[in-house]
Amino acid sequence: TPFNRVVALDPGTGSEIWSYDPELDKKNTYSKGSYCRGVSYWSDSKTLDQGGTCSKRVLSGIGDGRLIAIDADTGKACNDFGNKGQINLNSFDYHGGGSISLTSAPAIYEDVVILGSTILDGEWANAPDGIVRAFDVRSGEQLWSWNPIPENLRDTIGGANTWAPISIDNKRGWVFLPTGSPSHDPYGVERSEPLPYGNAVVVLDALTGEKIWSYQTIHHDLWDYDLPSMPTLVEINHQDKKVEAVLQATKTGFLFVLDR
């Protein structure tokens, strides 16, 4: 729901099986709004046959910056994940003023849960950096992080965050990130150096966070041209050859077709 309540329903009748309320502070919602683009599901192939506790998990990003793991069978928090079932991402260093929010479902590759953040890049000049983080889906231990802002600029600007959903190429073990604009997005005077990972499709190794390649769609954003949608992984016919591609829709009305 918009306030991040997770509800399990019987698909045949629509009757409620369980619900989980993260008790989001509704008087202090992020950006005076409430957003939730979905949840993610993971199952443990090692213990699924035994029906172990939390062998099936629902991963949900919360508007106040928490990541919560919920037992898909019972609707209870998985106490072995993070701090009694949750991780507060705002307890990590994002190198800027303000806080981050989670509004899209995490991406999952094997036993790794990967998530970006929502950042008010038009409100703070030195907004939090758009760091993408990966965690062990069982323990909640951080496995890697990737920062789109160059190290020498992290105390001056921020943003370039991934707020839209992340795509997974399971064959390659890659994650495809649609990044947003660096801060302060309507005022670019302090952004005199190249920022190649803002407004870009960025591809990382899902297990290590190592950058594979990137393609920038806007080089100096002054109009909040964040990449607003999940990269779509497809196979197309191009010059009589089958090509594995990625399609990226944009706020500018252009559809970018990139060789994966």
All residues at 6 or more sequence positions from 145 whose CB lies less than 8 Å from its CB, including other chains? 92, 131, 132, 133, 134, 209
Residues annotated as catalytic are 224
Amino acid at 252: T
222: Cβ contacts below 8 Å, ≥ 6 apart: 185, 186, 187, 188
- CB proximity list for 45: less than 8 A, separation 6 or greater: none
CA distance 134 to 160: 17
Residue 63 backbone zone (phi > 0: left; psi -120 to 50: alpha; other: beta): alpha
